[in-house]
A and B are shown apart, each in its own frame.
Chain A
Amino acid sequence: MNLFATLFPHVADRVDEFYECMLQTLVMVGIVGIISFVVSLFLAVVLVTTAPHGLFANRAVYQVVDKTINFCRSVPFIILATTIIPLTRWVMGTAIGVKGAVFPLIIGITPFFTRQLESALLGVNAGLIEAATAMGLSRIEIVWRVYLRESIPRIAKVTAITIVNLLSLTAVIGVVGGGGLGDFAIRYGFQRYWFDASVAVVLVYLVFIWVVETIGKAIIQTMSRE
């Protein structure tokens, strides 16, 4: 603890706040990650199955989802987050703190996550879909038992990539009052020139990312049979 106090004096002074910020970041990543995973997976399945020659080929649905995602992805996150503040207030009741950060984070990460998951699902060989169709499986069964099941290793991979991206978005949201480690680094490291605060945040992020990638790799290794 002495070494910590020597190396990171300003962090040691407000270690409770530091932990609080770490926890906020984890909560944001956790909530946003889970909600966005469900929404993105649904949208990715919609994209893959409504695309031309898909199981539920439907030009109108595909175009709407596809173009909406492209539109959202083309807006830089910090601009998106600040632009939708009125909407955030209306949906969440506040635009600051963890509560105010969750909504823009979901809007910000979901298009990216959807594209990642779409490419994961497109990795399923068309021959497998044809074989399942020939076997008499229904289209819903094919979605669950072929598209999703056969994509698990690729889904784990793109999810790890997306969570790393999400971690950096949680830092950005800190700038506009979102709380978390980004907020800590901006307030103490950037605005007060306390270099040790910035370094401490960087180290915590490194650990977070290492954990995410390790879990991702473990899932890929146990699930992959190819």
Chain B
Amino acid sequence: MTSHDTVDGSAAQSTAVESDSTDDVIIRFDHVSKTYPGSMHEALRDINLKIRKGDIYGIIGLSGAGKSTLVRCINGIERVDEGQVTVAGNNIAQLGRRDLRDLRRGIGMVFQSFNLMPSRTVEQNIALAWPRHTLSREQRHARVVELLKLVELDDKIDAYPADLSGGQRQRVAIARALANDPQILLSDEATSALDPLTTESILALLGRLNRELGITIVVITHQMQVVKEICNRVAVISNGRIVEGGDVYPVFADPQSAVTRSFVDNTSNLGKAPGLLGTYGSRLGVTESQTVLRLKYVAQSVAEPLVAQLGRDYNVLPNILFADVSVVDGAPLGGVVIAFDAEAATVRAIVDSLKSRGISVETLQTPQGGIGRPDDAASRRPIAQEA
């Protein structure tokens, strides 16, 4: 349909808006479904996804959720049953073998188990990505050195993978993935086999490559920490379906689905607060007469001395049980769990005042019985002594 044929102006407009917004979309899934032969359930169900140039796009899910299948549809290692995957303007399903191989050279991929060739040195591993005889020995060497400098590992050019640590192996794998100057880097659980410190450094490297080379990165992970650390956009996948997605900050600040909430809760103490409170409440100094609130901050309010203000304005003594602040996609996100003694009216006033400032408030415990009633531990003690 050409534009002058269009009778309905609004339809033409919406088409134009659509094409404008797809200009910087580099990877696109439209109603993609896939079932493995012989399998009872669908690995992917009606996946719709738009990944823009320059994104670090997180795809998070539990193992078996379908995220590895999803990422393999991008470079055509997995074929889809229904729908369409478009990468840099190419419909993957329509590419012949040769075109698909050309496309793959423009998409680097790193794996949880590194997948370096054990019989080859670091240099040979990286050079494996280049078609034979396209570069002279000197050119090849110079390019390998350049790539290794980029991943900060240029002193290991003649080492074999077996001689390297996990973090070093992943750096070599990243250098290999970058060998053909790809537009896209796929990271399939690249940090899952690494210790926390090494994970940090690899994530920092991916972030730097994204900024310096403008490369689009798709990060598959089951660790919310990874998404929190480097991603600007995220899709949460569960049972082959995308249950939630979008910019990372809103997803973290206000998770909608149960799966997302469990991921978010697992990354901070705040999420664990109710459980810890039930088990260790008395040891934390919380009595039944106290009110316990969980406050979640967003952006600007983190900077305010909230808890101290409450103490001053309402004449209460808040006890901070847990506190956690982290920086997500460049903006701070966090909260505290506080316990205090106050009349019901004061509690209501405090909650209203906090809510008016855009802070999400959850009541984890309301006062039960009168002040001075012995807590559970105290009342149980004599019985324990009898036994």
The residues of A with any CB-CB pair to B shorter than 8 Å are: 125, 127-128, 130-138, 145-146, 149-150, 152-153, 223, 225-226
Contact = CB atoms under 8 A, between A and B. Distances in A.
Chain B residues touching A, range: 20 to 34
Contacts of B103: 136
B58 interface: no
A132 B103 CA distance: 14
B357 to A, nearest CB: 49
A49 to B, nearest CB: 15
Nearest to A132: B128
B107 A134 contact: yes
Contact of A225 (B77, B101, B161): B161
Given A135-B104, A135-B105, A145-B128, A125 B77 contact: no
Given A127-B113, A223-B119, A225-B119, A135 B129 contact: yes
Nearest to A145: B128
A131 B173 CA distance: 10
A58 B232 CA distance: 43
Given A137-B101, A149-B117, A225-B162, 7 more contacts: A131-B115, A133-B77, A136-B102, A136-B103, A150-B119, A152-B119, A225-B161
B377 to A, nearest CB: 53
Nearest to A135: B129
B111 A225 contact: no
Contact of A136 (B104, B111, B119, B160): B104
Interface of B: 75, 77, 97, 101-105, 107, 109, 111, 113, 115-120, 128-129, 160-162, 176, 180, 186
A153 B113 CA distance: 21
Nearest to A128: B115
Contacts, number: 58
A125 B113 CA distance: 10
Contacts of A153: 119
Nearest to A141: B132
Nearest to A151: B119
Contacts of A226: 118, 162
Contacts of B111: 127, 130-131
Contact of A138 (B101, B113, B160, B161): B101
Nearest to B121: A225
Given A134-B104, A135-B128, A225 B118 contact: yes
A127 B115 contact: yes
B115 A130 contact: yes
A131 to B, nearest CB: 4
Nearest to A153: B119
Contacts of A223: 119
A132 to B, nearest CB: 7
B117 A134 contact: no
A133 B75 CA distance: 9
A140 to B, nearest CB: 11
Contacts of B105: 135-136
What 4 A-B pairs are tightest by C-beta distance, nearest first? A131-B115, A136-B104, A136-B105, A134-B109
A54 to B, nearest CB: 14
A7 to B, nearest CB: 47
Most chain-B Cβ atoms within 10 A of its Cβ — which of A127, A131, A226?
A: A131
Contacts of A138: 97, 101
A152 B118 CA distance: 11
A191 to B, nearest CB: 50
Nearest to A150: B119
A133 B104 contact: yes
A223 B162 CA distance: 13
